[in-house]
Structure 1
Amino acid sequence: MKDYTDNCPAFLTNVAGNHLHEGLTKLLAESGLNLSKHQLRILFYVYEEDGIEQKQLREFIKLSKISLVKIINDLEEANIVVRVPSENDMRNNRIFLTSLGKKLKTPLLALVDEHRGVAFRGFSSEEIDSYRSMLKRMIHNLAGQ
């Protein structure tokens, strides 16, 4: 079994991902930012496109409609985002940052960068670029299955 756990890319990726999420969640909690990994993912997309359509967000994040609504509800309750009905399709909402959501961006991204620095300690920039490139290719290869 040790050979499988030491050599299986899927297993290793999953373990690394779990450590990344747990470490970042702990770092955020210590800083007073109690955000889940899914809330973070949503915020990253909203930081890239303030006013992103909820439907588009769901396609990117690959969560069920119910799960996404729950996460957005929680972010709204925390006054980090607000939903506004889309002008083009009243069945769809656009997700905007509140003033608090905007204020959180800089410290949140700083914590993510700090955590990334810990995760990639001892890696060269070429190794990091190669790792990122391989993951993107793997995601692309598996997305159509």
Structure 2
Amino acid sequence: MQDTDFDVLVRDVRHIVIQFEALANQSVARSGLTGVQAYLLLYILHQSGKGTSLTEIQRELRYSKSTLSATVKRLRDMGYVRIVPYAGDDRRKILFATGKGEELREFLEQSVSEVHHRLYGGFSGTELDTLSRMQKRMLRNLSPENQD
């Protein structure tokens, strides 16, 4: 593709992200959560047996610590998450979903599934595998280790 318009590719990626976030927000709106809050709560729900930490969430979801801290605080204030000091290290906190958070699990999983279906609808398994490989390559290209 010699005539690739990289500006169009970048604009399209940005447009996809904006539309995805809007759809995610719309999908979970009746819960009173934003899309980011819903994804974070779902992650915490999926770790509910052992709990999780901000560091683990940051490593997995790649949100900034400040965004995560503010979002977790909001989820805690709304009664969806509880924060427990880590045994042996009071600086470290472990996050667990509350019963109120657990009540949203099915709704959030269904909402996220619908958003994913809308985003990836019409793609074959092979196309999704190819897209995944290309996205991972782009992330590697942008990683600090690949800077000259």
Scaled to the shorter chain, the TM-score interval is 0.7 to 0.9
Cα distance in 2 for residues equivalent to 1:84 and 1:70: 17
Partner AA of 1:53 in structure 2: S
Alignment correspondent of 2:65: 64
Unaligned runs of 5+ in 1: none
Contact 2:81 2:95 in 1 (8 A): yes
Aligned length: 138
Cα distance in 2 for residues equivalent to 1:13 and 1:88: 44
1:138 CA displacement: 2.0
1:44 CA displacement: 3.5
TM-score (structure 2 length as normaliser): 0.80
1:59 CA displacement: 3.8
Matches within 5 A, 1:86-125: 86-125=86-125
SS state of the match for residue 104, structure 2? helix
Cα distance in 2 for residues equivalent to 1:49 and 1:110: 18
Contact 1:20 1:119 in 2 (8 A): yes
% identical aligned pairs:
24
Unaligned runs of 5+ in 2: none
Cα distance in 2 for residues equivalent to 1:34 and 1:118: 22
Contact 1:55 1:92 in 2 (8 A): no
Cα distance in 2 for residues equivalent to 1:18 and 1:69: 22
SS state of the match for residue 72, structure 2? helix
From the superposition, tell whether residues 117 and 83 of structure 1 become closer, same or farther in structure 2 (CA, over 3 Å): same
Partner AA of 2:118 in structure 1: V
Contact 2:42 2:109 in 1 (8 A): no
RMSD (Å) for aligned C-alpha atoms: 2.0
Cα distance in 2 for residues equivalent to 1:57 and 1:122: 31
TM-score (structure 1 length as normaliser): 0.81
SS state of the match for residue 91, structure 1? strand
